[in-house]
Amino acid sequence: MNWQSSFFALLTVAASADEEPPQPPYPWADEIRRVLAPPLKSLLEPLDTWLAGLPAWTGPVSATALFLAAVFWVLLLKREYVYLGAPDQAIWRDLRIWALLVTLPYVVIYWMF
């Protein structure tokens, strides 16, 4: 779990432990939102509408494409770069193979769920 999710997790814990303090008013922030939020929303809306209309398989396919793109990039790295600093040239030290093996279960999981 990376720190962003830890951050929200901590907030959840804090919020569940005590009553939430009353939210102070920020009139200047409300004013900025009043002026800038509508144009930004209209700017992003076409993109949101398009993304929301994509078929359900787009998500898993995009995730899988990300995994595969990463592993193909690693497979294209030069052997010398991958082995740099290794005490020997044993096949098990080839980090390109590691990357391939690590990616496979992720692809299977994202394809299944």
Partner 1 sequence: MDELAKNLAGIDLAIILVYMVGVLALGAFFGKYVHSAGDFFLAGKALPFWAVGMSIVVSDIGATDMMAGAGATYKYGIAQANFDWIGSVPATFIAAFVFIPYYWRAGVYTIPEFLGRRYNGIVQTIMAVIWLCFLTSMLAIMLWMSAKFLHDVTGLNQYLAVWLTVAIVGVYTVSGGLAAVVMTDVMQMIVMFVGAAALLFLCLWETGGWSGMREIIGGLGDETADHFKLLLPHDTTGPYPWTGIVFGLGIVLSTGYFAGNQAVVQRALGARSEWDAKAGMIFAGFLKLFIPILVFVPGLTARALHPDLPEPDSAMPTLVVDLLPPGLTGLMVAAFFAALMSSVDSYLNSCTTMFVSDVYGPLYRQVTRVALPQGQGLILGRVLTVVLIVVAGLTAPVIERFETIYVAIQTMLSLFQGPTLAILLLGILWSRTTGWGAVAGLVLGVSLTGLLSLLGGTLFAPADPAQLVKVFPSDDPFLFISFWSFLFSLAVTVIVSLLTPREPPEKLRGLVFGHVMKDDAAQAVLRERVNGS
Residues that bind partner 1 (CB under 8 A): 1-14, 16-18, 21, 23, 25-26, 29-30, 32-33, 36-38, 40-41, 44, 48, 51-52, 54, 56, 58-60, 62-63, 66-67, 69-71, 73-74, 77, 81-87, 93, 95, 98-99, 101-103, 105-106, 109-110, 113
Question: C-beta of 112: minimal distance to partner 1 in Å?
Answer: 9
Distances (CA, A) of 60 to 31, 56, 67: 40, 8, 11
Residues with Cβ < 8 Å from 71, sequence gap 6 or more? 99, 100, 103
Question: C-beta of 91: minimal distance to partner 1 in Å?
Answer: 14
Nearer to partner 1, 18 or 91 (CB): 18
Nearer to partner 1, 54 or 91 (CB): 54
Question: C-beta of 95: minimal distance to partner 1 in Å?
Answer: 6
* CA neighbor of 60 nearest in space, from 1, 104, 106: 106
Distances (CA, A) of 72 to 11, 27, 45, 99: 38, 51, 34, 9
The C-alpha torsion from 68 through 8 and 6 to 41, rounded to 10°, is 30
Nearer to partner 1, 60 or 91 (CB): 60
